[in-house]
Amino acid sequence: MTPHDWSQWPRTAEEARAIQAQLAGSLGERPLDGPVRNVAGVDLHYDPARGLAFAAAVLLSARTLELVESAIAVRPIDFPYVSGLLSFREVPAAVEALGMLTRPPDLVVVDGQGLAHPTGLGFASHLGIITGLPTIGCAKSRLVGTHAEPALERGARAPLIHKRRIVGSVLRSKTGVRPLFISAGHGITLDEAVDWVLRTDGGRRLPEPTRQADLLSRCHSLKG
């Protein structure tokens, strides 16, 4: 991945909203344009006392879900917490962590939203635009939209609808557990996103890439 120039990264909510509106207008679903041999997971945890973000990127074999490599990036928190603008707080550290991997991922699963966001530019979508990588938003809770409750069986899904448009899928990734909220981030369709979440769940509620990234980033944030 080409290193990103963060000198022009917005520092205020006003600047971020202007960029968000510009980028959101260019988003849309499109099919994956190549085979997926490996899948990365990205998640972040914070140490507010020190003002640091800990971003983890783990790379797994798409076939076996075995860990190939992992990386941790630690960066100062340069953007304030503002509702709806979380990606401007998280993307820099996530990009740095992905850039530390020795091989580029074919697909990235993000603990967060993609198109299922008030502006359509969730963390997964923003990360995909910056890196050029296909991304999936896999969230544990709903940010926007309405939906019916999916059936209790694994693989059951219901459309997530926002402003009369399907922006995601409410997916039962494991029988009898709370569903996940899946949305296309960048460079992928919603059906492909749902398929890859199910392919990588390893029998658990959460897909293995983000589950491992969560554990790694949490561990490093606690020990510093």
Which residues are known binding-site members for Mg(2+)? 43, 111
For the chain, report the end-to-end CA distance as a whole number of angstroms.
27
Angle 179-183-85 (CA atoms, 0-180°, nearest 5)?
105
Q: Which residues contact 156 (CB under 8 A, 6 or more apart)?
A: 150, 171, 172
In 30-159, which ranges are continuous DSSP H helix?
Answer: 86-99, 123-131
Q: Compute CA distances 214 → 41, 47, 54, 95, 130, whole Å.
A: 9, 14, 10, 16, 21
* Distance, CA of 182 to CA of 190 (rounded, Å): 8
How far is it, in rounded angstroms, from Cα 183 to Cα 160? Answer: 9
Q: Tokens standing for 55?
A: 């971003």
Q: Which residue has the tokens 């020795």?
A: 102
DSSP state at residue 161: E
* Binding site as annotated, residues: 43, 111
- The CA-CA-CA angle for residues 56, 57, 60, to 5°, reads 135
